[in-house]
Structure 1
Amino acid sequence: MTGYTLTRRSLTAALLAAPALAQATPAPATGPIPRRESMDHHPTYRSVDVDGFDIVYREAGDPARPTILLLHGFPSASHMFRDLIPLLADRFHLVAPDLPGFGGSASPAQGSFHYSFATIAQKIERFTEVIGLQRFAIYIFDYGAPTGLRMALSHPERIIAIISQNGNAYDDGFGAVWEPIQRYWRDPSPANREALRAELGTEGIRRQYVHGVPDPSLISPDGWTLDAFYTQRPGVDEIMLDLFRDYRTNAALYPDFQRYFRQHQPRLLAIWGKNDPIFVPAGALAFRRDLPDAQVHLLDTGHFALETHAREIAASIAAFLSA
């Protein structure tokens, strides 16, 4: 299989396919990469070489303000934060990378890059070093949770707070939809691998967006359409199936994540779509076992809570980090 990397022109077109719904305050042009010279609320779209690996990212806000590293999940990319970023950019510095193999970041062929959550976390950790982030909060969603929490294990001193939006760290959080994936963990047969391929199709991706949303007409098709575009590029399906299998290594690390919570007591806000069949509300409530002061808010929506509750989530983050 050959890898696939977006050209600058096709990346721009893809990003324009998912416009922000929230209005940002007009601002003057930004300063040179990598630092921003002004308190600009409008995101910029950049890429950076991370040890020979191209990482695409969005950035907004004043770097002198507290930084939030926004880590997306499967099968999405940094565009999932398109509504949230303008709502917080007047108070925070926001950085949202596309994880390796996702969105516009490099997607080398399997034989030339080992796709695992360990390597993804290592690349994103190096990304933060390359662009000069020293201490920051992490917003962890879905695959972004094991990515960010592996980084926290590696460098706990860098993490000032955690916002978990349907980002799991407990066995309690696994919904029934994980059964075929867990079967694949136990028996990585071709048949069990093939049984998961439907989750990579447009309908499987759309279902993640609309399941559990009381009014699905509120969900813009932009998100799942762009996710389907990225996921259905040549070779990416096999990368995603590899990561389904590798997620077992995250579950094996859950005791380590929980030990980190107990030992370091990071400030944590868990704000979840309570109707999510993938990571169920018990996973949000479980944080309080190790972090008694954790804030837990359950919203009447599904897995991709930002699609319907970006303003509520932004308000909760602002209050949480400003307290």
Structure 2
Amino acid sequence: MIEQKFLSTQRLKIAYYHGGTPGMPKLMLIHGNASSSKFYLPLMERLAGEFELVAPDLRCFGDTEALPVDATRGLRDWSDDLYSLTHSLGWNEFFLQGWSMGGGIAMQYAIDHGEQLLGLILEDPLSPFGFGGTCTPDGQKLTPAGLASGGGCANPKLVQAILDGDREFLRSTLNDLYFKPPFRAAPEWEEIFVDAIASTRVGDGMYPGDFLSVPQWPGLAPGNSGICNAMSPVYCDLSPIADIPHKCPILWLQGDSDLIVSDYSLADFGALGAMGAVPGWPGADIFPPQPMLAQIRFVLERYAANGGSYREVVIKDSGHGPHVDQETVFAQALTSFASQANQ
């Protein structure tokens, strides 16, 4: 049985789902931005016989205590929160899976506590060089100040829909961007997933974060607090994962039709400018789309060259959330990886 629990750690009160089979390998599932652990409930039901499972809500999402995010620490607020949870649970050896921003947090956790990990599963992850503001596979910034990244880059219509409780806008976002159309979750799950997006906490230090107005196109640079600023390349650099001493095997699972984590992301100003969606784009020579997939591959190749190992699996007919829109294929890849890594 999967049940929601609450645990007050040294850092905050964390809500999490727990289930699966005690004595089996432990697996922690980390959700992404504008979501919550509820997105993992169907997968947890499927994997319950293979693992003992924990899926926490990150701070500013779901039912976990809504403390502000210090963006100047990159993703470390969340990594430290998760360590306080694993310490309280007595989890010293486990598999860690992270989706989207959660994939970035999982990489940060590996940098901070890699000795605990049996394996790392990255699902359509945040680039190791953050979201927005970079232009080359090795993470070169467009400007030192992080132009076109941070709190000002969130979709203002999504922010307003969360504030207003506009479920139909959130439903459209879910079905158009999180999954590959024409996939639709079963109606009861769709409502739960909309609830999860709606649980995102909007406000100072939370979603999306503050920003600075600057003269260069598109006129936005990151502030220093809140969720989206924590993913700015000014503060977020996960490339040191390539140099950690304890290198667990890594599985990278990527939906082939992801519109968010892509070399041509619909959430990136370089791509939006190129397609004419944001006027004034200065051109690809000055402001190319962020090559997110190339950046992930660049860092994972360095990880492998330094003694680690990784495998990239592209999941067909899948969007940004293959653990939902291609659940069977995703679960098979994950369990096969864990079985091999645990031998």
Name the CA distance, whole Å, in 1 between partners of 2:338 and 2:197: 34
Match for residue 129 of structure 1?
Answer: 87
Q: Deviations over 1:162-213 (max 9, x none)?
A: 111111344599799xxxxx899635999x7386422333536743542361
SS of structure 1 residue aligned to 2:124: coil
Q: Is the 8 A contact 1:174 1:279 kept in 2?
A: no
Match for residue 215 of structure 1?
Answer: 182
Match for residue 304 of structure 2?
Answer: 291
1:267 pairs with one of 245, 249, 252: 249
Q: Which has the larger helix fraction?
A: 1
Partner AA of 1:99 in structure 2: L
1:153 is displaced (CA, Å) by 1.5
Name the CA distance, whole Å, in 2 between partners of 1:184 and 1:78: 34
1:91 is displaced (CA, Å) by 1.5
1:152 is displaced (CA, Å) by 1.5
Match for residue 306 of structure 1?
Answer: 323
Name the CA distance, whole Å, in 2 between partners of 1:75 and 1:195: 11
1:259 is displaced (CA, Å) by 2.2
1:246 pairs with one of 210, 230, 237: 230
2:44 pairs with one of 70, 85, 88: 85
Taking a change above 3 Å as real, the CA distance of residues 104 and 266 of structure 1, as seen in their structure-2 partners, is: same
SS of structure 1 residue aligned to 2:326: helix
Q: Is the 8 A contact 1:44 1:59 kept in 2?
A: yes
Name the CA distance, whole Å, in 2 between partners of 1:185 and 1:216: 39
Match for residue 194 of structure 2?
Answer: 225
Unmatched 5+ stretches in structure 2: 135-141, 210-225, 263-292
Q: Which has the larger displacement, 237-246 or 215-224?
A: 215-224
Task: Determine what percentage of the aligned residue pairs are the same residue.
Answer: 19
Q: Does 1:186 align with 2:146?
A: yes
2:99 pairs with one of 137, 141, 150: 141
1:81 is displaced (CA, Å) by 0.6
Match for residue 76 of structure 1?
Answer: 35
Taking a change above 3 Å as real, the CA distance of residues 124 and 205 of structure 1, as seen in their structure-2 partners, is: farther
Match for residue 257 of structure 1?
Answer: 241
Q: Is the 8 A contact 2:146 2:234 kept in 1?
A: no
Q: Is the 8 A contact 2:175 2:184 kept in 1?
A: no
Match for residue 16 of structure 1?
Answer: none
Name the CA distance, whole Å, in 1 between partners of 2:57 and 2:143: 28
Name the CA distance, whole Å, in 2 between partners of 1:135 and 1:66: 9
SS of structure 1 residue aligned to 2:39: helix
1:305 is displaced (CA, Å) by 1.6
1:235 pairs with one of 193, 203, 213: 203
Match for residue 95 of structure 1?
Answer: 54
Partner AA of 1:240 in structure 2: P
Match for residue 266 of structure 2?
Answer: none
Name the CA distance, whole Å, in 1 between partners of 2:325 and 2:302: 29
Partner AA of 1:239 in structure 2: Y
Name the CA distance, whole Å, in 2 between partners of 1:43 and 1:67: 14
Partner AA of 1:265 in structure 2: K
TM-score (norm 2): 0.68
Aligned residues: 270
Taking a change above 3 Å as real, the CA distance of residues 199 and 270 of structure 1, as seen in their structure-2 partners, is: same
1:161 is displaced (CA, Å) by 0.3
Q: Does 1:198 align with 2:147?
A: no
Name the CA distance, whole Å, in 2 between partners of 1:120 and 1:172: 15
Match for residue 277 of structure 1?
Answer: 259
Structure 1 residues 11-22: aligned runs within 5 Å:
none
Q: Is the 8 A contact 1:75 1:205 kept in 2?
A: no
RMSD over equivalenced CA pairs, Å: 3.4
